Amino acid sequence: MLAGLPYELAGLFYYGLFVMMGRKRHAAKYSNRSRYLVLLAAIAMVGSVPFRYAGSSLGVAAMFALAALAFGSTLVDAYAARRR
């Protein structure tokens, strides 16, 4: 289990973010793009342990890129919602 726990915890954090985005109070704030990216990042991070791609540098780079893209999209949506 090569450094799997941090990825699992990050995946659970992203899943919690996805659940928060689906609540009625926050639903209008986030786009479908952000929801899908966050869910994809959560699945990729939690899946890193059973599929063992956390051991390769390409797998880690892909996970971080997907996580950064999802987080950036979420920030853009949150900023746009504040400006309304």
The pLDDT tens digits of the residues spanning 18-77 come to: 999 988 888 889 999 999 999 999 998 888 878 878 778 888 888 889 999 999 999 999
pLDDT for position 80: 93
pLDDT for position 55: 78
pTM: 0.84
pLDDT for position 2: 56
Q: Residue holding tokens 């900023």?
A: 79
